[in-house]
C-alpha cells in the first residue's frame, strides 16, 4: 500500500530525561525509521487494496521510552491504530476521511473538479495542489502521464465528463495520449509471476496425456517460456489464453502431441477459473480460434456500449475516425469491462473498426453510429406510477435544488431526482413518469456518486431535514430500508444517500395528509404514488391525469391537486393535476 503524510506535528512531553535531547532523538526517528515501519504495518492491514483513503487529520496520543530500541515501532503502531480507526469510521458525517475506489477514480475526480474550477476548494485534492492554477489541459496532460491513463479515462467516461476533458487537450496531445493507450504492456523475461499458469499448463498436459516423451517439470517449462506479455489476472479468458499459449509453444517444440478429444472433465473441477472449452480449439487450430471468439466478444461489447449511449454515439461521430474517437471508444469499453484495460487485442479490434470507418466500409459496429437520430419524447405518455409526480411539490418544499447546490451538486439535479423517483416507485429510469419527475434528462451522468460528493450531500440533507423538523436521519433511513424498494445504483453508499433523500421527500409530502401523515412508507407508496395516469406535455405545461383513487379527497384537502407553477427543472413548465381522470 502506497501512502504519504503531508505534515506530521509532534508534541513531546518529556519526563525524567533532558527534553531537548529526547526531542532531537525522536525527530530523527520520525525522519529515518517511522515511515518504513508505518508502511509495513499498514501493508499488513490493507495489502494490495487499491482503495485511496484521504484523511484530513489523525490524532494519536501515547507514551514511550525515547531511548528504547523499539521506540520507532511503538510510535508506528500507535499511528497505524489511529489511521485504521479513522478509516473504519469513514461513514461518520464529519468528512474526515474521503474514499476513492482506486487511484484512477481519484485522479478522474480531481480532473472533473478542475474542469469546473472548484478543485482548490476541496482539501482532499491537496496532493494535486501544484496543478490547481494551471489550465485543465496542461494539468490533465501531465497527470495522465504519471499513471496508466486508460482506467482514468474510463472513470471519466462513467461520469460523462470524458468529452469535456478531451476538449481541453490540443490535437497533438490527443494523438500522444491515444498512442500511449494503444501501446501493449511491456514484455518481461521474468516469468515468476506466471507460475500458477505454468503449473496449470503442466497439469493439463499430464491429465490429458499430451506428452510425447518424458514429461517436463514446471521449472523446465518456465525456462522455455520467455518474453511474454503480462496477463490480466481479472479475466479468466485472458488467463486461459496464456495457458493455451504455453501449451502451443510446447507443441511447436514437439514436447506435446495434438489432442483429438476434449480435455478431461476433471480439469474443470480442479481449476474452476479455467475456460476448458478454449483448450481443444486453441491447440488444434493453426491460428487459435480463441482469437476469433475474443474478437466477437470485443465487437459485441463495442456495439453494446454504442447502442446504450446516445451521448457516446454523438461524441464519436463528431470526433470522426481518429485518435479522439479511439480514446472515447476505448474508455467506454474499459468502463464496462475493466479487465480489458491493458488488452492489446481489444486495441487491435478498435483499430480495425476505425480503419473501416475511415475507408467508408460497412461494419456491424459502425452500424450503431447510424442510429444517431436523437431521442424524441412523446407528447402523451402513459405510466403505471404517474402518482410520483404528486411529490414534485415536496421536492420544492424540501428545497432539494438548494441542498444540492450547497453540496456542490447543483448540476446533477436531474440525475439525483431520477434516482429518487426510481427508489420511490421501484421503476426503471426509462419509465415515463420517473423521467418526467427528473425533467426527462437526455443523459445520465454518474459523477455525483463519488464518495466525497455523497458525504457532502448526506451532511446537507441532515441540516435541511432538521431545519424542516422532519424525522431524524436514522428514522428516514429506516423508512427507506424497510418500506422503499431496494436501491438499483450498484453502489451501497449512493443507494443509502438516495434512500435518505427519498425518505425525506416522502415525509415532507405526507405531513399535510391529516390522519395519514404518519402512515408507513409502503402504505403511502401503494395508495398515492403507484397509481396509473397519463402525462400530457406542451411547451408551457405538464398535465398529469390520474386514475380515480379512494383517497383523492385527502389529496385535495391537502391542496396537492393545485397547480405547481414554473418548475425549473421541467423547463419552467407548470404542472397541473387532474384527479380521477378515466
40 within domain boundaries: yes
Q: What is the mean pLDDT of residues 370-375?
A: 44
Contact yes or no for 278/242 (Cβ under 8 A): no
Share of the chain above pLDDT 90, in %: 31
Question: Which residues does residue 567 pair with via DSSP β-bridges, in sequence order?
Answer: 573
- Assign 289 a pLDDT band (cuts: 50, 70, 90): very low
Residues 30-45 as b or e (16 or more Cβ within 10 Å = b): beeebbebbeebbeee
Among 356-360, 399-403, 571-575, which is the least confidently predicted range? 356-360
Question: Are 412 and 516 contained in the same domain?
Answer: yes
Whole-number pLDDT of residue 227: 45
Compute the distance between CA of residue 352 and CA of residue 358 in angstroms, rounded to an integer: 10
* pLDDT beyond 50 at 581: yes
Grid coordinates belonging to 394: 415536496
Q: List, for residues 543-569, the tens digit of each pLDDT value.
A: 999 988 888 899 898 899 999 998 889
Residue 9 lies in a domain: no
Number of H helices, E strands in the chain: 26, 7
Q: Are residues 396 and 518 in the same domain?
A: yes
Q: Which residue has the higher pLDDT, 49 or 59?
A: 59
Nearest-5° angle of CA 481, CA 94, CA 419?
Answer: 35
Q: Decide: 108 and 155 in contact? Cβ < 8 Å.
A: yes
What's the confidence (pLDDT) of residue 498?
94
> End of a domain among 63, 88, 113?
88
413: Cβ contacts below 8 Å, ≥ 6 apart: 400, 401, 404, 438, 439, 569
Task: Tell me the three cell numbers of residue 518.
Answer: 404518519
- DSSP codes joined into one string, 514-567: GGGTT--HHHHIIIIIS--EEEEE-SSEEEEEE---TTHHHHHHTTTTS-EEEE
For residues 204 and 274, membership in a common domain is answered with yes
Mean pLDDT is lowest, of 82-86, 140-144, 233-237, 270-274, for 233-237
28 and 122 belong to one structural domain: no
Mean pLDDT for 200-215 is 90
pTM of the model: 0.55
> What average pLDDT does this structure show over 568-573?
87
Interatomic CA distance for residues 423 and 420, integer angstroms: 5
The whole-angstrom separation of Cα 362 and Cα 373 is 19
What's the mean pLDDT when you consider all of the chain?
84
Both 490 and 393 in a single domain?
Answer: yes
What is the mean predicted confidence (pLDDT) over 517-522? 88
Q: Does the residue 488 lie in any domain?
A: yes
Please count the other Cβ atoms lying within 10 Å of the Cβ belonging to residue 578.
13
Q: Is the pLDDT of residue 183 over 80?
A: no
Band (pLDDT 50/70/90 cuts) for residue 191 is low
- What is the mean pLDDT of the segment spanning 289-306? 70
Do residues 383 and 465 touch, judged by C-beta distance below 8 A?
no
**Same domain? 81 vs 123:** no
CA distances for 341 relative to 5, 183, 331, 459, angstroms: 30, 11, 9, 35
Residue 439 Cα distances to 121, 429, 567, angstroms: 30, 12, 9
- Whether residue 302 sits in one domain with residue 242: no
Contacts of 340 (CB under 8 A, 6+ apart): 232, 235, 298, 333, 334, 346
Q: What are phi and psi of 542, to 5 degrees?
A: -120, 115
Estimate the crossing angle of helix 149-158 against helix 171-182, to 10 degrees: 110
Rounded average pLDDT over 9-20: 86
- CA-to-CA distance for 217 and 118, rounded, in angstroms? 59
What the block records as the C-alpha cell of 78 is 500507535
Of 119-128, 230-239, 297-306, 480-489, the range with the lowest mean pLDDT is 230-239
Confidence class of residue 433 from pLDDT cuts 50, 70 and 90?
very high
pLDDT recorded at residue 285: 66
What band does 374 get if pLDDT is binned at 50, 70 and 90? very low
Domain end among 342, 371, 400: 371
66 within a domain of the structure (yes/no): yes
For CA atoms 500, 503, 507, 508, the dihedral sign is positive
**What is the domain range of residue 282?**
192-286
Banded pLDDT at 143 (limits 50, 70, 90): very high
Quick one: which of 522, 517, 570 has its CA closest to 544? Answer: 570
Query: 32: which residues sit within 8 A by CB, 6+ positions away?
Result: none
Q: Which residues contact 350 (CB under 8 A, 6 or more apart)?
A: 302, 326, 329, 330, 333
Whether residue 555 lies inside any domain: the answer is no
If asked whether residues 334 and 357 sit together in one domain, one would say: yes
Taking every pair of C-alpha atoms in the chain, what is the biggest distance, in angstroms?
91
Among 64, 88, 112, the domain boundary falls at: 88
Query: Which whole number is the average pLDDT over 338-346?
Result: 75
Q: Is the pLDDT of residue 358 over 70?
A: yes
Domain count, the chain: 5
Q: Residue-wise over 90-102: b if at least 16 C-beta within 10 A, else e?
A: beeeeebbbbbbb
- pLDDT-based confidence at residue 352 (cuts at 50, 70, 90): confident
Tell me, what's the pLDDT at 483? 83
Q: Write out the E strands in 350-412.
A: 380-383
> CA-to-CA distance for 136 and 116, rounded, in angstroms?
9
Per-residue pLDDT of 524-534, as tens digits, reads 988 888 889 99
Between CA 286 and CA 274 the distance in angstroms is 22
Does residue 319 lie in a domain region? yes
Sheet holding 380-383, edge to edge: 380-383, 533-537, 541-546, 573-578, 564-567
Give the chain's end-to-end CA distance (angstroms, integer): 63
Flag whether 435 is in a domain. Answer: yes
- Do residues 106 and 174 share a domain? yes
pLDDT band of residue 443 (cuts 50, 70, 90) is low
Q: Answer whether residue 542 is part of any domain.
A: no
Q: Are residues 24 and 108 in the same domain?
A: no
Answer left, alpha or beta for residue 290, where phi above 0 means left and psi between -120 and 50 means alpha.
Answer: alpha
Residue 521 in grid coordinates:
412508507
For residue 553, report the phi and psi dihedrals to the nearest 5 degrees.
-65, -30
Same domain, 215 and 158: no
Other Cβ atoms within 10 Å of 350 Cβ, number: 22
Same-domain pairing of 390 and 363:
no
Cell readout for 361 is 466500409
Contact 293, 285 (CB under 8 A): no
Q: Is 381 helix (H, G, I), strand (E, B) or coil?
A: strand
The pLDDT score that the predictor gives to residue 292 is 54
CA distance 242 to 225: 11
> Is the pLDDT reported for residue 228 higher than 60?
no
pLDDT of 174 reads 93
Q: Within a 10 A sphere around the Cβ of 374, how many other Cβ atoms?
A: 7
Per-residue confidence band for 232, with pLDDT thresholds at 50, 70 and 90: low
Residues 336 and 323: beta-carbon distance below 8 Å: no
Amino acid at each position: 500500500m502506497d501512502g504519504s503524510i503531508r505534515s506530521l506535528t509532534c508534541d513531546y512531553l518529556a519526563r525524567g530525561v533532558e527534553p531537548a535531547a529526547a526531542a532531537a532523538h525522536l525527530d530523527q526517528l520520525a525522519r529515518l525509521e517511522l515511515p518504513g515501519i508505518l508502511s509495513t504495518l499498514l501493508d499488513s492491514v490493507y495489502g494490495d487494496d487499491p482503495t485511496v483513503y484521504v484523511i484530513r487529520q489523525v490524532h494519536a496520543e501515547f507514551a514511550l521510552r525515547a531511548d528504547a530500541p523499539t521506540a520507532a515501532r511503538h510510535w508506528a503502531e500507535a499511528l497505524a491504530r489511529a489511521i485504521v480507526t479513522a478509516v473504519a469510521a469513514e461513514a461518520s458525517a464529519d468528512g474526515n476521511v474521503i474514499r476513492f475506489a482506486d487511484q484512477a477514480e481519484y485522479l478522474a475526480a480531481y480532473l472533473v473538479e478542475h474542469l469546473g474550477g472548484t478543485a482548490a476548494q476541496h482539501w482532499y485534492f491537496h496532493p494535486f495542489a501544484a496543478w490547481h492554477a494551471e489550465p485543465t489541459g496542461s494539468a490533465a496532460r501531465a497527470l495522465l502521464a504519471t499513471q496508466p491513463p486508460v482506467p482514468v479515462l474510463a472513470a471519466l467516461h462513467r461520469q460523462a465528463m470524458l468529452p469535456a476533458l478531451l476538449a481541453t487537450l490540443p490535437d497533438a496531445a490527443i494523438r500522444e495520449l491515444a498512442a500511449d493507450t494503444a501501446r501493449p504492456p511491456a514484455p518481461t523475461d521474468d516469468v515468476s509471476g506466471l507460475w500458477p499458469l505454468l503449473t496449470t499448463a503442466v497439469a493439463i498436459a499430464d491429465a490429458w496425456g499430451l506428452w510425447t516423451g518424458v514429461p517436463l517439470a514446471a521449472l523446465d517449462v518456465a525456462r522455455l517460456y520467455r518474453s511474454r506479455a503480462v496477463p490480466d489476472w481479472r479475466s479468466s479468458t485472458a488467463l486461459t489464453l496464456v495457458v493455451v499459449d504455453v501449451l502451443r509453444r510446447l507443441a511447436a517444440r514437439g514436447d506435446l502431441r495434438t489432442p483429438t478429444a476434449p480435455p478431461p472433465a476433471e480439469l474443470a473441477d480442479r481449476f474452476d477459473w479455467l475456460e476448458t472449452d478454449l483448450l481443444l480449439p486453441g491447440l488444434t487450430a493453426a491460428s487459435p480460434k480463441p482469437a476469433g471468439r475474443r474478437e466477437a466478444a470485443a465487437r459485441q461489447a463495442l456495439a453494446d456500449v454504442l447502442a446504450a449511449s446516445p451521448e457516446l454515439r454523438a461524441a464519436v461521430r463528431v470526433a470522426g475516425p481518429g485518435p479522439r474517437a479511439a480514446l472515447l471508444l476505448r474508455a467506454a469499453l474499459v468502463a464496462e469491462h475493466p479487465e480489458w484495460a491493458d488488452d492489446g487485442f481489444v486495441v487491435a479490434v478498435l483499430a480495425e473498426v476505425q480503419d473501416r470507418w475511415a475507408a467508408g466500409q460497412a461494419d456491424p459496429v459502425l452500424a450503431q453510429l447510424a442510429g444517431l437520430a436523437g431521442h424524441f419524447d412523446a407528447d402523451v405518455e402513459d405510466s403505471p406510477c404517474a402518482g410520483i409526480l404528486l411529490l414534485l411539490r415536496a421536492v420544492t418544499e424540501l428545497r432539494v435544488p438548494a441542498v444540492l447546490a450547497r453540496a456542490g451538486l447543483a448540476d446533477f439535479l436531474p440525475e439525483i431526482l431520477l434516482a429518487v423517483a426510481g427508489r420511490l416507485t421501484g421503476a426503471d429510469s426509462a419509465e415515463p413518469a420517473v423521467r418526467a419527475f427528473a425533467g426527462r434528462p437526455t443523459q445520465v451522468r454518474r459523477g455525483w456518486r463519488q464518495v466525497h460528493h455523497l458525504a457532502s450531500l448526506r451532511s446537507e440533507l441532515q441540516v435541511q431535514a432538521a431545519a424542516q423538523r422532519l424525522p431524524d436521519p436514522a428514522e428516514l433511513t429506516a423508512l427507506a430500508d424497510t418500506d422503499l424498494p431496494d436501491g438499483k445504483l450498484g453502489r451501497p453508499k449512493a443507494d443509502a444517500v438516495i434512500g435518505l433523500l427519498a425518505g425525506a421527500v416522502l415525509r415532507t409530502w405526507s405531513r399535510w395528509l391529516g390522519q395519514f401523515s404518519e402512515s408507513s412508507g409502503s402504505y403511502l407508496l401503494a395508495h398515492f404514488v403507484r397509481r396509473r395516469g397519463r402525462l400530457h406535455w406542451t411547451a408551457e405545461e405538464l398535465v398529469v391525469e390520474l386514475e380515480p383513487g379512494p383517497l383523492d379527497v385527502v389529496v385535495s384537502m391537502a391542496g396537492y391537486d393545485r397547480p405547481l407553477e414554473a418548475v425549473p427543472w421541467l423547463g419552467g413548465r407548470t404542472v397541473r393535476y387532474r384527479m380521477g381522470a378515466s
